[in-house]
């Protein structure tokens, strides 16, 4: 296929199959998918058609974008006080839930809001990135008390991201991480029962939500990457290569027969510099071909180099001006960077980045 430039494509059949497979094993009322992966109102329609009524986003600006389509939105990123005016401007008919972390000035937040909003406490249950330490009971209790005494805030519960599952080496380790961190959240809920008698526990990570089948005691699930998947998820064990629903078509700009390499227009500005290790080699992508393991072995800003050393005979089937389809290491970052999708018919789909100049 001839293309004008580097393009991100989505396979709707694979993506909706991923969604359907997930819906078969969960209670629909627990499902609040994270839309930071696809960032598209057009793709959001696939969820609406399956009676999914609430979503997660990663910024106030993204909440504004999706508020045209959704009436129950959780912003799963510590509240940005500098964007409160944008938050207040969202239609009052849209239910908004926000997130606070250590150091969030609750009284100031309360005074800036012009409407009531549900609040979750971000809890670090073991990932180590952000949130209240799960065992810092004094600080958590004090924060809940401040929220309970506020005018515009209603404390709903605890939110955590089990992000360390992305470093797991197989399904067993994913299950162990999930169980440990779930138990910590359940214990915290028990400890805070007097202050928060109807506490919601909300978790979100694609590996555990993909690998496990039962989610007892969890009130809300917020996976995002499951709709697309990628090489990182395949390596973890969350999916197979057949499940990866996005690929990037990259023009071939040079073919080096002696080096056994193809140079593509596909570098860090298309894929990011996210990488995985395969056989002690750093990999930035893979030719979207299940039979031949040909990897994007090197990237610079705009260039990418595909290593054909194991299959040099395949070089003869390509010409400069052709394109190669590449599975990304991390589909969320690739979708965010490229800011648009094309379907199998070449039609461009709506995307947050191409509709919001402030993003």
Which domains, ranges and CATH numbers included, belong to the chain?
A: 31-227 (3.20.20.10), 241-354 (2.40.37.20)
List, run by run, the mean pLDDT of 10-residue segments along the chain (359 residues). Answer: 74 96 91 96 95 96 96 97 96 97 97 97 94 97 98 98 91 95 98 97 95 93 97 95 97 97 97 94 97 97 96 96 96 93 87 68
| Longest Cα–Cα distance in the chain | 72
3-state secondary structure of 22: helix
pLDDT at 178: 96
CB 296 within 8 A of CB 286: yes
Residue 219: C-alpha distances to residues 119, 222, 316 (Å): 15, 10, 54
Burial of 100 (0-12, 13-18, 19+ CB in 10 A): buried
Nearest to 333 by CA among 305, 307, 353: 353
What pLDDT shows up at residue 2? 41
Predicted pLDDT of residue 3 = 44
DSSP H helical ranges for the chain: 12-23, 41-48, 60-66, 84-88, 106-112, 137-148, 171-191, 206-211, 231-236, 268-271, 331-338, 352-355
């Amino acid at each position: 296929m001839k293309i004008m430039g580097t393009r991100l494509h989505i396979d709707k059949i694979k993506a909706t199959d991923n969604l359907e497979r997930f819906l078969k094993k969960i209670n629909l009322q627990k499902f609040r998918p994270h839309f930071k992966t696809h960032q598209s109102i057009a793709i959001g329609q696939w969820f609406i058609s399956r009676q999914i009524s609430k979503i997660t986003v990663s910024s106030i600006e993204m909440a504004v974008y999706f508020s045209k389509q959704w009436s129950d939105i959780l912003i799963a990123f510590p509240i940005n006080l500098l964007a409160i005016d944008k938050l207040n401007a969202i239609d009052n008919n849209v239910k908004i839930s926000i997130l606070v972390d250590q150091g969030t000035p609750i009284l100031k937040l309360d005074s800036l809001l012009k409407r009531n909003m549900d609040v979750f406490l971000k809890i670090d249950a073991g990932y180590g990135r952000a949130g209240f330490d799960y065992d810092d009971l004094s600080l958590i209790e004090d924060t809940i008390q401040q929220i309970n005494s506020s005018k515009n805030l209603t404390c709903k519960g605890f939110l955590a991201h089990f992000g360390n599952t992305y470093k797991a080496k197989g399904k067993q380790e994913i299950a162990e991480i999930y169980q440990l961190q779930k138990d910590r959240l359940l214990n915290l809920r028990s400890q805070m029962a007097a202050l928060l008698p109807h506490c919601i526990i909300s978790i979100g990570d694609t590996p555990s939500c993909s690998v496990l089948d039962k989610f007892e005691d969890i009130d809300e699930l917020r996976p995002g990457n499951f709709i697309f998947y990628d090489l990182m998820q395949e390596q973890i064990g969350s999916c197979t290569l057949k499940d990866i629903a996005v690929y990037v078509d990259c023009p071939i700009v040079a073919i080096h027969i002696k080096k056994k390499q193809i140079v593509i227009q596909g570098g860090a500005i298309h894929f990011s510099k996210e990488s995985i290790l395969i056989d002690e080699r750093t990999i930035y992508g893979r030719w979207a071909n299940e039979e031949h393991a040909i990897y994007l072995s090197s990237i610079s800003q705009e260039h990418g180099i595909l290593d054909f050393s194991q299959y040099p005979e395949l070089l003869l089937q390509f010409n400069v001006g052709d394109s190669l389809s590449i599975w990304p290491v991390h589909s969320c970052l690739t979708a965010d960077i490229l800011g648009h999708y094309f379907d199998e018919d070449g039609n461009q789909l709506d995307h947050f980045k191409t509709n919001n100049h402030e993003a």
